[in-house]
């Protein structure tokens, strides 16, 4: 029999191991989102302490927002079929709020987020009106729909029975955390306006710095377009006469790959 002390020691050891790995994974996904935006080959990615801090800070905000939404729903809604349905909207609502917060008035993404959320709301509260017409009250329709969905969705039932509802919820939340790390990298790349520019001919903009290596790209300052032509400079071997200027040349966009 495993003692409580041994169990706690094992759990704490796992946390010590998993937290740095999770931080690295979050940072790596953040970098993938950033580099994909500028067509930088992914095999050059080397997460640093700075990017790990940025990634974890963004995810901390994401999780805080999630728990605030769940807490608010729990306080004001209580229990019941309608309350459970609204609680299930916590994650779609979180995704919508976080995406809008990152990209602002990007109407293409905004319209997609709103349309997606409306579809989810309709699937949750509108579909039972048509599929459970034999039930009289709306609450009975929701209960019947929940029961029917649970019986039909054998995969979700088996996973929940095997892992337990708590662990299943953790897996979903972990997936959302990884998604948030990636989309945060995309948003930061698309909205970055100030870059270090190397005054060479042609001019080069510094896109990323990994250790002592600078990943630079040629760009058109008029159209704010990257030309998918990269230079990799070693910071230790740079000529002392090379000068960098912080310039507002963004937001930059990449040319489509042929």
Structural domain boundaries in the chain: 4-190, 192-254
Model confidence, pTM: 0.72
Tens of pLDDT, residues 202-225:
888 999 888 788 889 998 888 888
What value does the CA radius of gyration of the chain take, rounded to a whole number of Å? 24
**183 and 102 Cβ atoms separated by less than 8 Å:** yes
Share of the chain above pLDDT 70, in %: 73
Grade residue 257 by pLDDT with cuts at 50, 70 and 90. low
The DSSP output letter for 122 is I
Average pLDDT, the chain: 76
> For every residue of 1-41, which 3-state class applies, written as one string?
CCCHHHHHHHHHHHHHHHHHHHHHHHHHHHHHHHHHHCCCC
The pLDDT assigned to 78 comes to 55
Helix-, strand-, coil-residue percentages of the chain, each rounded to 5? 65, 15, 20
Tens of pLDDT, residues 90-130:
777 777 877 887 887 677 777 877 888 788 777 777 777 77
248: which strand partners?
194
Q: Please say if the pLDDT value at position 258 is more than 80.
A: no
The pLDDT assigned to 83 comes to 61
């Amino acid at each position: 029999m495993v003692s409580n002390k041994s169990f706690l020691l094992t759990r704490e050891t796992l946390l010590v191991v998993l937290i740095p790995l999770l931080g690295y994974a979050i940072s790596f996904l953040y970098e993938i989102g950033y580099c994909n935006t500028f067509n930088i080959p992914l095999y050059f990615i080397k997460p640093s302490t700075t990017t790990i801090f940025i990634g974890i800070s963004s995810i901390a905000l994401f999780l805080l927002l999630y728990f605030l939404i769940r807490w608010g729903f729990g306080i004001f809604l209580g229990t019941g079929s309608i309350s459970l349905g609204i609680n299930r909207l916590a994650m779609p609502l979180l995704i919508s709020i976080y995406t809008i917060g990152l990209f602002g008035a990007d109407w293409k993404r905004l319209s997609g987020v709103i349309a997606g959320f409306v579809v989810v709301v309709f699937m949750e509260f509108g579909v039972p009106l048509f599929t459970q017409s034999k039930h009289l009250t709306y609450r009975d329709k929701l209960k019947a729909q929940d029961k029917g969905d649970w019986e039909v969705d054998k995969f979700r039932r088996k996973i929940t029975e095997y892992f337990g509802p708590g662990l299943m919820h953790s897996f979903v939340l972990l997936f959302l955390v990884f998604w948030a790390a990636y989309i945060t990298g995309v948003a930061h790349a698309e909205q970055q306006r100030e870059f270090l520019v190397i005054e060479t001919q042609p001019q080069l903009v510094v896109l990323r710095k990994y250790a002592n290596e600078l990943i630079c790209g040629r760009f058109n300052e008029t159209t704010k377009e990257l030309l998918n032509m990269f230079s990799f400079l070693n910071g230790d071997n740079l000529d002392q006469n090379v000068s960098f200027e912080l310039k507002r040349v963004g937001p930059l966009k990449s040319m489509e790959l042929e």
